[in-house]
Amino acid sequence: MSKNRVLIFDTTLRDGEQCPGASMNLREKLAVARQLGALKVDVIEAGFPVISDGDFAAVQSIAKQIKGPQIAGLARCVPKDIDAAGAAVKPAGKRGRIHVFLATSKIHREHKLGKAQDEILRLAVEGVKRARKYVKDVEFSPEDGSRTEPDFLVEICKSVVKAGATTVNIPDTVGWAVPDEFGDLISHLHENVPEFQTGKAVISVHCHNDLGLAVANSLAAVRAGARQVECTVNGIGERAGNAAMEEVVMALKTRKNFYRGFSCGLDTKEIVKASKLVARMSGLGVQRSKAIVGENAFAHSSGIHQDGILKKRETYEIMNPKHVGWGKTELPLTKHSGRAAVAARLKHLGFKMNAEEINSIFAKFKEIGDKKKFVYDDDLAALVEGHITTVPETWALDYLNVSTGNQTVPTATVRLTKKDGKKTQVEQDASIGDGPVDASLKAIDRISKTKGTLMDYTIRAVSQGKDALGEVTLKVDFGDGDLVVGKGASTDIIEASARAYLNAVNRYLNNGRKGRKRRHRQP
């Protein structure tokens, strides 16, 4: 591999998924992992296997099904974590990676771990050695690396590389670093650890965005010798998030003249698709003005700019939007389109579905086709994603009637069905509320015997036109402090809201209440 090749380690499914309310189910994670495969990222960090049965299953399934990238599982320097990660990544064979981490900074050593430097060194080395029993590809992260004494960090790097680590990742765990300082730290490590110069081990960086510097710090690190960047799609992650993958990749590509030939192997045309998928699956929408993937990223409103673009695109556009996947619009489908056309479009959009699933999507497509003139690719993607995010339907919406107006007390009548073996239970109730959405959600609460507090609610038009599908994403707290995401789409926004809420209720009844058993706290 070229000395200037920068590996992209995507942690959307691990650090990204740690974002409150962003948790995804297995099918959602698989859909994201498949798209990361299409993007050709080098490593997918698929989860933290010891943390819950769900995380273990996700890492294992991704290791089994996704070909191409290395598949990594996270572990603390604790035998049971490493054993779980080893078992979870096993189906990936030689593409399995174990990522072990242990905090090294003074503040973490003294206040969190109560351990001295030599004890930390010993545990780090033991952890790496244990991981090497499972896989050849072992990454070690000294957590809070950017606040660790530089010379102790050199000692740690040398020891873990000697113990068998092939990548040492320097995390800026709390987003404390600034570019010049972080670049200097990476140069210091590069100069003092011979294996980083010979290429026997790779320096990686993992930057958080608390000061909005995650991408800048990552790029400074690349110039100083880092050859792996850890990042997430749309920059989602703990607190203010991680370095945004699309920004790192496009900065290296667009500013090749400055980054002297550094390259990554990504298929950048898959970026927008990945961004939209992650936004839908995680429930974390993308800000309109977000670089590269925001709706406005390539929208020029000023007349002077528009004029310049028409004369020569490069006057105001430093990247070609097509190179990141914008603007590939296909002819919309209509209610006259047949099953084969819908199946072909689903395949083109990258959705892997069996015949039964295509039939079910086709039925929903026909319903929507009757209500709106054109069914765009985004409409179809919303239908499929609604299908993927579906949890077992404890309660299904059968009937919804609302009465509302500026002189009326908003009232909703809801009928839900519950399947219990062969028996179908039908329950109906009504409620008043501040508005038709509030009334509908309250009626659902009365029937399902849940009490959710709406913490976040967003609605967006999936495609263009007054008849566009409205897609509602909401986050609900059912009283245990965990945020449960719900999604629903319909041409009627009250129905979309009721469906999204019901999706959250079902998710809670299937995972939440029974416990998405987090066995350990995440880092």
Does position 15 interact with Zn ion (CB under 5 A)? The reply is: yes
Q: Which stretch binds Zn ion (CB under 5 A): 13-21, 49-57, 253-261, 387-395?
A: 13-21
Does position 139 interact with Zn ion (CB under 5 A)? The reply is: no
| Measured distance CA(27)–CA(482) in Å, rounded | 20
| Residue numbers at the binding site for ligand KIV (CB under 6 A) | 15, 101, 141, 143, 169, 171, 173, 206, 208, 523
Nearer of residues 284 and 388 to Zn ion, judged by Cβ: 284
- Which residue bears the tokens 């015949």? 355
Q: Closest distance between ligand KIV and the C-beta of residue 176, in Å?
A: 11
Q: How many helices (H) and strands (E) does the chain have?
A: 17, 14
Q: Closest distance between ligand KIV and the C-beta of residue 175, in Å?
A: 9
Out of ligand KIV, Zn ion, none, what residue 268 binds, judged by CB under 5 to 8 A for its kind, is none
Nearer of residues 205 and 439 to ligand KIV, judged by Cβ: 205
| Measured distance CA(397)–CA(316) in Å, rounded | 49
Tokens coding 118: 């030599």
Q: Is the dihedral of CA 131, 132, 138, 142 positive or negative?
A: positive
Q: Which stretch binds Zn ion (CB under 5 A): 10-18, 65-73, 143-151, 479-487?
A: 10-18
Q: Closest distance between ligand KIV and the C-beta of residue 143, in Å?
A: 4
Nearer of residues 169 and 217 to ligand KIV, judged by Cβ: 169
Does position 45 interact with Zn ion (CB under 5 A)? The reply is: no
Does position 17 interact with Zn ion (CB under 5 A)? The reply is: no
Burial class, 392, CB count within 10 angstroms (exposed 0-12 / middle 13-18 / buried 19+): exposed
| Measured distance CA(292)–CA(466) in Å, rounded | 27
- φ, ψ of residue 226 in degrees (nearest 5): -70, 140
Q: Closest distance between Zn ion and the C-beta of residue 291, in Å?
A: 21
Nearer of residues 240 and 396 to ligand KIV, judged by Cβ: 240
Nearer of residues 394 and 522 to ligand KIV, judged by Cβ: 522
Does position 10 interact with Zn ion (CB under 5 A)? The reply is: no
- φ, ψ of residue 237 in degrees (nearest 5): 155, 180
Q: Closest distance between Zn ion and the C-beta of residue 523, in Å?
A: 7
Q: Closest distance between Zn ion and the C-beta of residue 495, in Å?
A: 39
Q: Please, how many CA atoms are within 13 Å of residue 389, restricted to the half-sphere of its CB?
A: 33
Q: Which stretch binds Zn ion (CB under 5 A): 14-22, 190-198, 328-336, 433-441?
A: 14-22
Angular region, 283: left φ>0, alpha ψ -120 to 50, beta rest: left
Binding residues for Zn ion, total number by CB under 5 A:
1
Are 308 and 314 contacting, i.e. CB atoms less than 8 angstroms apart?
no
Nearest of 385, 298, 387, 389 to residue 349 by alpha carbon: 385
Nearest of 172, 192, 191, 169 to residue 181 by alpha carbon: 172
Out of Zn ion, ligand KIV, none, what residue 42 binds, judged by CB under 5 to 8 A for its kind, is none
Pairing of β 137-143 and β 202-207: unpaired
Q: Closest distance between ligand KIV and the C-beta of residue 74, in Å?
A: 6
Q: Please, how many CA atoms are within 13 Å of residue 56, restricted to the half-sphere of its CB?
A: 18
Tokens coding 270: 């898959």
Nearer of residues 15 and 379 to Zn ion, judged by Cβ: 15
Q: Closest distance between Zn ion and the C-beta of residue 142, in Å?
A: 13
Tokens coding 163: 């113990």
Residue at shortest CB range from Zn ion: 15
Nearer of residues 206 and 442 to ligand KIV, judged by Cβ: 206
Does position 42 interact with Zn ion (CB under 5 A)? The reply is: no
Nearer of residues 175 and 325 to Zn ion, judged by Cβ: 175
Q: Closest distance between ligand KIV and the C-beta of residue 169, in Å?
A: 6
Angle, alpha carbons 33-282-244 (nearest 5°): 70
Count of positions (residues) in the chain: 523
Nearer of residues 171 and 325 to Zn ion, judged by Cβ: 171
- Residue 413's SS3 state is strand
What's the gap between Cα 165 and its chain centre?
27
Summarize as ranges the residues that interact with Zn ion (CB under 5 A).
15
